[in-house]
């Protein structure tokens, strides 16, 4: 009897080819489009959004082409509760969260997997670029074969249960090879652009989205230097992030950067570029994959954001399950709310949310 796989389809080339590859491998494949973001005209008409109306139609056409069943599942309530609301809350606290990581943790690999298992699926599948392998009694997460497309950073929260029931068939291919397969089998999405990073903010204006969502204008406050001297007025802390230089709206005769955001005093600290380089951070909400918890110091390579390069660091266990990360060299713009993810070679050790810069 064929194993049943429910694949999350976005209408993009990766999930489309993933569905094809799974069918070729002999699985009983069912395509599911997850409706996530709110119903707004701006969102539904954005062609780069991963589950807009056009994306639904693209996914449906791919499913027809592959001759697999296709359905749309509504996860809007879960998405708002688990992704959008925490995103807004964190920004209002002076942090810069990564909603894609929250979506993977709570929606794509939790709520979606739960529903899939409830209707008899053996696995869920996605178009992510990362490898899942089993060694001994432990499932491991490793970088994709294509380093340019590796997405293991946003998947560090996967549990053993989730890894055991997840397939990622694109992981052994390059993006170019995936597009070539799509073109070869006649999928019109073979040259479709990749979806944007934050699906529910089509214009990428975080501040405007938060003000519209909360129906309140962010409170203005003072720009200050590290000595507390007032340098000017800012338009609300939700409009800024650590390391930001452009769009500050203040002229000091030299380049300045956001070095700190204080929600208690409603102040944004500006400084020189050297002021945003730090060597230590404290992380919480930890998840480890090869083992359950960190019991002793460990040497790793760590990434403080998706686009950063892995840098040598030591992990030191702290109280309440937190981890102190000490880098060999200073890192640029370590930012509260972002995730720090740990590697040893291709192996993902785990990660957590940056809570404090030390």
Task: Give the residue numbers marked as catalytic.
Answer: 103, 199
Q: Tell me, what DSSP letter sits at residue 220?
A: P
Question: Tokens 């293991």 map to which residue?
Answer: 152
C-alpha to C-alpha distance for 15 and 23, rounded to whole angstroms: 12
DSSP 167-218: E-GGGGS-HHHHHHHHHHTT-GGGGPPPPPSSTT-TT--HHHHHHHHHTSPP
C-alpha to C-alpha distance for 183 and 189, rounded to whole angstroms: 8
Strands (E), the chain: 4-8, 28-35, 70-74, 123-125, 130-135, 138-143, 166-167, 221-224, 230-234, 257-262, 267-271, 277-288, 298-303, 311-317, 323-332, 339-344, 347-357
Question: What angle in degrees, to the nearest 10, is found between the helix axes of 206-214 and 85-92?
Answer: 110
- Shortest CA distance to 342 belongs to which of 283, 277, 296, 295? 283
Handedness of CA 115, 116, 122, 125 (dihedral sign): negative
Largest pairwise CA distance in the chain? 72
Cβ within 8 Å of residue 114, ≥6 positions away: none
């Amino acid at each position: 009897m064929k194993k049943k796989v429910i694949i999350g389809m976005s209408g993009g080339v990766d999930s489309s080819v993933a569905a094809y590859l799974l069918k070729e491998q002999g699985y009983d494949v069912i395509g599911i489009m997850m409706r996530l973001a709110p119903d707004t005209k701006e969102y539904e008409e954005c062609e780069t959004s991963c589950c807009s109306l056009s994306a639904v139609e693209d996914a449906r056409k791919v499913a027809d082409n592959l001759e697999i069943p296709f359905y749309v599942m509504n996860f809007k309530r879960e998405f708002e509760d688990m992704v959008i609301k925490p995103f807004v809350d964190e920004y209002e606290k002076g942090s810069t969260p990564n909603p894609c990581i929250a979506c993977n943790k709570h929606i794509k690999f939790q709520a979606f997997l739960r529903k899939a298992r409830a209707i008899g699926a053996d696995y869920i599948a996605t178009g992510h670029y990362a490898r899942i392998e089993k060694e001994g009694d432990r499932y491991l997460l490793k970088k994709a074969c294509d380093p340019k497309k590796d997405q293991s950073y946003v998947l560090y929260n996967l549990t053993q249960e989730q890894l055991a029931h997840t397939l990622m068939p694109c992981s052994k291919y390059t993006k170019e090879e995936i597009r070539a397969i799509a073109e070869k089998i006649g999928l019109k999405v073979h040259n479709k652009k990749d979806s944007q990073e934050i699906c529910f903010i089509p214009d990428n204006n975080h501040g405007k989205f938060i003000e519209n969502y909360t129906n309140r204008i962010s409170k203005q406050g003072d720009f200050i230097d590290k000595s507390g001297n007032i340098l000017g007025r800012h338009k609300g802390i939700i409009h800024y992030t650590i390391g930001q230089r452009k769009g500050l709206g203040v002229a000091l005769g030299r380049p300045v950067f956001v070095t700190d955001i204080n929600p208690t005093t409603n102040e944004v600290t500006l400084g020189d570029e050297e002021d945003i380089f730090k060597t230590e951070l404290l992380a919480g909400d930890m998840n480890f994959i090869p083992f359950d918890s960190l019991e002793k110091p460990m040497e790793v390579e760590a990434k403080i954001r998706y686009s950063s390069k892995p840098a040598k660091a030591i992990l030191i266990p702290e109280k309440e399950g937190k981890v102190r990360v000490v880098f060999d060299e200073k890192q640029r713009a370590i930012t509260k709310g972002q995730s720090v993810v740990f590697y040893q070679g291709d192996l993902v050790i785990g990660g957590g949310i940056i809570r404090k810069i030390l």
